[in-house]
Structure 1
């Protein structure tokens, strides 16, 4: 059985260590709802996300889980101020997300033209025992 885990870009930049397929990592995991990341990754991909990784507490020690990384995708998205908005807050542009399979998740990621790095989607297998 595999699970999909979301790791925010700021989590990696702040506290993350690089990792790749085949490695076992221990993370604090919090269950993710289907709508939690839909604005960035789209509804279909958001429904695949089982957990989000939490570096800053709030998950409780019991939520630390060991998982073996199976695959890693960088997530890059375009942000804009929505047309007609009275706010200067940029929002993810629907359908403007790119998923890039990579061999290793790194703390710093090269930006893609016109897009911003948002985080990683990690496919992993729970480690028992």
Structure 2
């Protein structure tokens, strides 16, 4: 199980570089597959692409909720956790909605992470399906 205890703040340059590598991999996946597939397909392929580049990417990471001092598995799962630093939520939907952004923000808060990427692969041009979100620890 991943440790989500508070961690040192990552440098902006380090997070930006890792974020760019993640987005580069997402563009490669989108170019190869195009829109129209299941979220899980893009998630698997993005994880594979990152691993090929020696970037640690873990799929479906359990995210407990701490309630009354107790960790509770409420069924939340992070789609991809990159280098234990960046949360990636993968979507394959007509458009990103405010609820998707809220989901990523709460995941950042629960996991004590600073940076998250919301990537919707069901778009003609992937640049229109990316939302970068920051949570101040």
Query: TM-score higher than 0.5 here?
Result: no
Calculate the TM-score normalised by the size of structure 2: 0.27
Calculate the TM-score normalised by the size of structure 1: 0.28
Structure with greater strand percent? 1
Q: Pick 1 or 2: higher relative contact order, CA cutoff 8 A, min separation 6.
A: 1
